[in-house]
A and B are shown apart, each in its own frame.
Chain A
Amino acid sequence: MESMKQNLVDIVGAANVIDNPEVLASYAKDESFATPMKPWFVVKVENAEQVQNLVNWARKSQTPLVPVSSGAPHFKGDTVPSVPQAVIVDLSGMKKILSISRQQRMCVIEPGVTYGELQEALAKEGMTLSTSLRPRANKSVLTSVLEVEPRLNCLHQFNYVEPLRCTEVTFGDGIQMFTGEAGGGPQDLKKQWELGKWQVHPGGPGTTDIVKMVTQAQGSMGIVTWASLKCELLPTVRKSYLVPAKKSTDLEDFVYKTIWGRVGDRLFVMNKAYLAYLMGDTVEQIAELKTILPNWVAPVSLSGDILLPELKVESQEYGLKEYAKQTGVHLLPEVPGVTADEVIEKASTPSGENYWKLTYKGGCQDIFFVTTLDKTPKFIEAMYELAIEVGYPTEDIGIYIQPQHMGTSVHLEFSLPYNPDNAREAKLVKELYTAASMRMSKLGAFFSRPYDIWSTIQLNKDAQYYMLLRKVKEIFDPDNIMNPGKLTIK
């Protein structure tokens, strides 16, 4: 073990190799029900060269590597080693914003950059990045886009993995390369910028979309050390509304119509519990909101930036009102307990130090998958039925529906808060999580990001796809050192 440690020290320096039991224990589990497994070491890397050296060392020594870029708490089990004697590759210290181009609306960032840091830098240039719903303060932007967390603005999601464009990746076979347009070379960012190449086009290089190998991959193919991201212009005018409803189905036509009409830059749907968790800063506030909020709310926001922003918002508002009228819903600036501006602001900005999903009960288990909006009612009904069966309070089930990829599908998320210190409650939620995951799958849920038990549930559905996935994994990670045990059927 000492020689192994020395090898790591040789690569990243003594200060960056950690075997302190407390630190190792903190990586051994997360907030999910994934089986705990203590890693061997945690190493903090500072650059791509170290990453490549580490991968080459891991190949020789047959050591599993688990890349981690965000700070704790983690929720999905993907950063918990599935096998013993793994080394955690901590990329959170790689915090450089390598470029920001206002002309191209592009930025290039390292894995440790968080939403707060990036948005602040982009704002200085009059830009912003489309965001997932209220990310953790220490959430890595790069991980968020690699894992394809749903964005609040589905209408600018031309590509399913927007805003991700090009990357630098070291695959499990030790090869380090640029993907997308950047893959055309030279393999040097500065030289590319001098040539007027800003890593804009995500496709390729060649007839293969290499970047797709590292998306939704849970670090099981390679380690990304920078990514280029498409930015948006920072709005100068914004107007937001809340659309309340008794049932989720009452909002369906409105959401479809609004997407069809290409109106707004924020649109999602939440039930009262989820909205309360998002908006309440304390347990008391959440409890209060749960009693006064409408059953369902669709927040929608209109924005304008440099081209006649007031007129743009005015014209979009006209369309939105038309669609609301046609579909029998009402646009309100506020509902009891919250205003539309507050909801949009909170949804669009990173969480405080205490992650908002943990406020209510201290723990939270999510179940999420991809489906279409018109299919959501059957999943929601099934979830309530199961909750009643196992005795979980239905009023605590948070539901979030996020249209994505310009409206062709939605991310449907059930959020189940619980007290992790209460063994009975934790057991009950674990039971519900397991049963619901299987039931949803049978109903047609598509676990596109198959974390934890969803890996077996989803990949078991198509042997041919799974076999091809394993073949591809073998090409890019022939020694199976990259987060082994993930994306497998157990």
Chain B
Amino acid sequence: MAFPRELYKALEDIVGKENISENIGVCETYRCVPSQSSAHYGPTKNWTPRPQAVILPGSAEEVQNIVKICNKYGVEFKASTTFWSTMGYIGGDFALQIDLRRMKSIKIDAKNMHAVVEPYAIAATVQAEAMKVGLNLNIPGVGCSSSTLANFSTWVAFGPNSISMGYGNENVLGMEWVLPDGEIVRTGSLASDDGWFCGEGPGPSLRGIFRGAFGAAGSAGVCTKIAVRLHPWPGPADFPTYGLAPAYKADWGPNFKCYTLCFPDWKSWARSIQYFYESDIAYSGHRQFNMFGRNLKGAMIEIISNHERQLTDLEELVNDPYIKEQTEKMRHDYQVVIAGFTPKDMEYKEKAVDYILEQTGGWKSEMMLEKDKHDYALLYLTRLGHKNLNYVMCGAYEGVLGLTGNVWKAIEVADEATALKRKWETEHTSIAATGGDSAMGCLSGLGGGGTTGWEFFTNFDSYDKNSVEGTYAFVETTQALMNKYAFGPDFCRWNSDVRKMNGYNYTQEEQNEMFKKAAQPWVFIYQYKIREAINPKNLCGSYVRTLDPKALEE
């Protein structure tokens, strides 16, 4: 249903003609495949609904006025910026898509190590500005082209740096929110204009109603500005790189090393990770290149780190005896970046890594010590600017399984999960055969260690119906494995209870049915009550899981 003229005019009056459009061609570009994973474009044939209009506000005040208009006319709205994944898109027919790309300021307080950012300040830009003053930030796995504000305030935000910097929730300081009812709330020290330095309180921390283990993905209003904690960067201020596109590399001198550490089995692998949790040695830690699959990663690393190589070289490289041997040695591996704040600090950290390897029977991958590969991996993990590689094999991918949490628990399932995927790879043609184990993810999803977060990359062809349907069927089997070991929803079904496969929001009745049998239904009741308090007209989609208390009484 098209917007009534007076509604469109009211919105136009807020932002000006040039910042709003109801052109079908424009609105059509604000649609997305309705993946139910957290941040991928999974196997599906549907699309999210087309918004009735797209609007680009330039300030919190404009956002507030837009939201008030939406409340007046009962218009669903959702704000997004870099539009990575389905979460940022509207889920109803009478809906307004808010695009925050005009709001992109960055202000850094170098002494007190934080940056105040607007929605379209992407991580790459925040990082570049921070590095000028010796600082860096946690860039989540989604990559540096995504919005720092969106990641930290409304989703999860863990990545390679989280082991030394903490994940999104740990790094949020003051926040400015336009609530779904149009009121503006500022949390922490900001609530009293005292500054952006503290995110908690006064009293109970109300920012807890906007995000928990993960955020509300735009269903709790519009976050218009946040302060994020920055962390020390002992490298150069100008982030020098070398090499030819797309195989850029970095050499930041002797105080930076990127190692691929390898282990004889999962147990020694997990023990080594525990050592990293218990020390302050790792600047970054990620099992990165295994995303190409256990059998292909050596060959793929050769291809992506060498600008003269092509994907057509894959078969030749896979069969190359040296690469074959090196790939085999990297079966149980991960990458770590070690950064020295002083030469002595680097000396200690180098020796500590060697000590860990000695204690666990591990080794450093020789191939990854070659200068071009080392420098490529160092830049990759520090910048996370290569997200295109996620798609390079088949044009689409989905993360499945999701062995998150206790690393010791995860390894108990690793071989079975690998065998399951390998079996599917060899018995079906729907997903790429990469070697079964394609688990990738961060060493720690929490600052200082404690929980891991893997997903098994599953490559498929989104233009091939059989591949899409086969991949979907594969997920049925991985979910069964997840259930068997009490790991909860499969990674690619994290959002299956917040948006339907047809791209639309769930109704309250549908959510009631899902959540009334939960282990702790109270959580969803509290979320319902909070939504009622700040979003009485329920205008921001269904990404906040809610349970009407009346449904439980029934």
Contact = CB atoms under 8 A, between A and B. Distances in A.
Given A205-B520, A215-B205, A308 B348 contact: yes
A201 B453 CA distance: 12
A468 B185 contact: yes
Interface string A93-128: 000000000011100000000000000000000000
A306 B342 contact: no
A216 B205 contact: yes
B229 A207 contact: no
B373 interface: no
B526 A203 contact: no
A271 B506 CA distance: 59
A79 to B, nearest CB: 16
Contacts of B211: 207-209
B486 interface: yes
Given A216-B205, A465-B185, A181 B212 contact: no
Contacts of A409: 112, 189, 197-198
A212 B213 contact: no
A15 to B, nearest CB: 32
A465 B187 contact: yes
B463 to A, nearest CB: 34
Nearest to A192: B486
A445 B194 contact: yes
Interface stretch (B20-28, B36-44, B419-427, B442-450): B442-450
A204 B523 CA distance: 9
Given A464-B183, A468-B185, A475-B533, A444 B520 contact: no
A374 B229 contact: no
Contact of A307 (B134, B355, B445): B355
Nearest to A106: B450
A207 B533 contact: no
Contact of A104 (B345, B406, B448): B406
A221 B204 contact: yes
B356 interface: yes
B405 interface: yes
A430 interface: no
B451 A260 contact: no
B271 to A, nearest CB: 10
B527 A206 contact: yes
Interface in B157-181: 165-166, 169-170, 173, 179
Contacts of A233: 278
A315 B488 contact: no
A14 interface: no
Contacts of B194: 371, 444-446, 461
**Which of B198, B214, B405 is most buried by chain A, counting CB atoms within 10 A of its CB?**
B198
**Which of B274, B406, B523 is most buried by chain A, counting CB atoms within 10 A of its CB?**
B523
Interface residues of A, number: 96
A294 interface: no
B313 interface: no
**Which of B212, B278, B446, B451 is most buried by chain A, counting CB atoms within 10 A of its CB?**
B212
Contact of B348 (A180, A183, A205, A312): A312
A459 B203 CA distance: 9
Interface in A190-234: 195-198, 200-201, 203-218, 220-221, 230, 233
B205 A308 contact: no
A215 B200 contact: yes
A85 to B, nearest CB: 24
B113 interface: yes
Interface string B88-125: 00000000000000000000010111100000000000
B63 interface: no
A88 interface: no
B341 interface: yes
B411 to A, nearest CB: 11
B520 A187 contact: yes
B213 A185 contact: no
Contact of A207 (B200, B201, B215, B447): B215
A476 interface: yes
Contact of A160 (B199, B203, B342): B199
B278 A315 contact: no
Contact of B544 (A177, A207, A210, A305): A207
B535 to A, nearest CB: 12
Interface in A338-380: 370-374
A263 B351 CA distance: 18
Given A373-B111, A408-B197, A187 B519 contact: yes
Interface stretch (A50-58, A316-324, A329-337, A390-398): A316-324
Contacts of B198: 160, 370, 405, 408-409, 446, 448
Contacts of A448: 188-189, 198, 200-202
B240 interface: no
Contact of B344 (A187, A198, A201, A319): A319
A383 interface: no
Given A308-B348, A373-B112, A408-B173, A465 B206 contact: yes
Contacts, number: 304
A203 to B, nearest CB: 3
Contacts of A322: 342
Interface in A427-480: 441, 444-450, 455, 458-459, 461-462, 464-465, 468-469, 471-472, 475-476
A384 interface: no
A283 interface: no
Contact of B169 (A209, A217, A256): A209
Interface residues of B, number: 94
Nearest to B343: A318
Given A215-B205, A461-B193, A468-B206, A316 B212 contact: no
**Which of A196, A200, A305, A315 is most buried by chain B, counting CB atoms within 10 A of its CB?**
A315
A409 B409 CA distance: 36
A159 interface: yes
Given A159-B169, A178-B520, A315 B347 contact: yes
Contacts of B520: 177-178, 183-185, 187, 205
A481 to B, nearest CB: 16
A364 to B, nearest CB: 23
A372 B112 contact: yes
Given A207-B545, A209-B207, A260 B192 contact: no
Contacts of B351: 308, 311
B208 A209 contact: yes
A49 interface: no
A201 B206 contact: no
B311 interface: no
A328 to B, nearest CB: 17
Contact of B275 (A215, A307, A446): A307
A91 interface: no
Contacts of B314: none
Contacts of B111: 256, 372-374
A263 B348 CA distance: 13
B409 to A, nearest CB: 4
Nearest to B208: A212
Contacts of A155: 280
B345 A315 contact: yes
B204 A446 contact: no
Contacts of B446: 158, 200-201
A261 interface: yes
A198 B543 CA distance: 27
Contacts of B213: 180-181, 201, 203-207, 209
B229 A408 contact: yes
A177 B521 CA distance: 10
A447 B201 CA distance: 8
B447 to A, nearest CB: 3
A207 B527 contact: yes
B267 interface: no
Contacts of A212: 200, 204-208
Given A186-B519, A372-B197, A465-B191, 5 more contacts: A214-B204, A216-B202, A444-B193, A459-B203, A465-B186
7 contacts: A183-B523, A200-B406, A206-B213, A261-B232, A374-B111, A408-B114, A446-B201
